[in-house]
Amino acid sequence: MTSAPVRADDGPLLRMGDPAGRRLLATTILGSGMAFLDGTIANVALPRIGRDLHADLAGLQWVVNGYTLTLAALILVGGSLGDRFGRKKVYGAGIAAFAVTSALAALSPTIQILVGARMLQGVAAALLTPGSLAMLQASFRKEDRMKAIGAWTGMLGIATAAGPLVGGWLVGIEWRLAFWINVPLAAVVLWLLRTAPESKDDEASTHFDIPGLVLAPVALAGITWTLTAWPNDGAELRTVLPLVVGVLAAVAFVVVERRTEHPMVQPSLFADRVFTVINLVTLAVYAALAGSFFFLAVYLQVSGGWTPLAAGAATVPVSLIMLVLASRFGGVATRFGARLPMMAGSALLAVGLGWLALAPDHPTYLTQLLPGILLMGFGLSMLVAPLTGTVLAAAPDHEAGLASGINNAVSRTAGLLAIAALPLVVGLSGDQYRVGHEVARAYRSSMWVCAALVAVGLLLTVAVGGRQIDQVTSAPDGDASSATP
pLDDT tens by residue, 125-138: 888 877 777 777 77
Distance CA 432, CA 93 (A): 41
pLDDT at residue 148 tops 80 = no
Looking from the CA of 282 toward its CB, the CA atoms found within 13 Å total 25
First-to-last CA distance in the chain?
A: 13
3-class SS of residue 98: helix
3.40.50.2000, 3.30.2010.10, 1.20.1250.20, 3.90.1150.110: CATH of 19-197+262-483: 1.20.1250.20
Q: What percent of the chain has pLDDT over 70?
A: 85
What's residue 482's pLDDT? 31
346-399 per-position pLDDT tens digit: 999 999 999 999 999 999 999 999 999 999 999 998 888 788 777 777 777 666
Looking from the CA of 323 toward its CB, the CA atoms found within 13 Å total 10
The most confident of the ranges 62-66, 75-79, 206-210 is: 62-66
Strands in 136-295 per DSSP E:
none
Which whole number is the average pLDDT over 293-300? 89
In sequence order, what are the residues at sequence separation of 6 or more whose Cβ sits closer than 8 angstroms to the Cβ of residue 431?
56, 57
Distance CA 424, CA 251 (A): 24
pLDDT at residue 177 tops 50 = yes
Which whole number is the average pLDDT over 161-182? 80
**Residue predicted with more confidence, 474 or 159:** 159
Which whole number is the average pLDDT over 17-44? 78
What's residue 479's pLDDT? 37
> Of the given ranges (68-77, 135-144, 249-258, 300-309), which has the lowest mean pLDDT?
135-144
Distance CA 98, CA 87 (A): 16
199, β-bridge pairs:
7
What's residue 164's pLDDT? 67
> Of the given ranges (208-212, 255-259, 308-312), which has the lowest mean pLDDT?
208-212
182-201 per-position pLDDT tens digit: 999 999 989 888 877 777 66
pLDDT at residue 112 tops 80 = yes
What's residue 103's pLDDT? 94
Q: What percent of the chain has pLDDT over 90?
A: 24
pLDDT at residue 1 tops 70 = no
What's residue 170's pLDDT? 83
In the structure, what pLDDT confidence band is assigned to residue 8 with cuts at 50, 70 and 90?
very low
Among 43, 71, 438, 69, smallest CA distance to 228 is for 69
Distance CA 153, CA 329 (A): 11
What's residue 470's pLDDT? 55
pLDDT at residue 261 tops 80 = no
What's residue 376's pLDDT? 94
Which whole number is the average pLDDT over 168-185? 86
pLDDT at residue 228 tops 60 = yes
Distance CA 71, CA 32 (A): 13
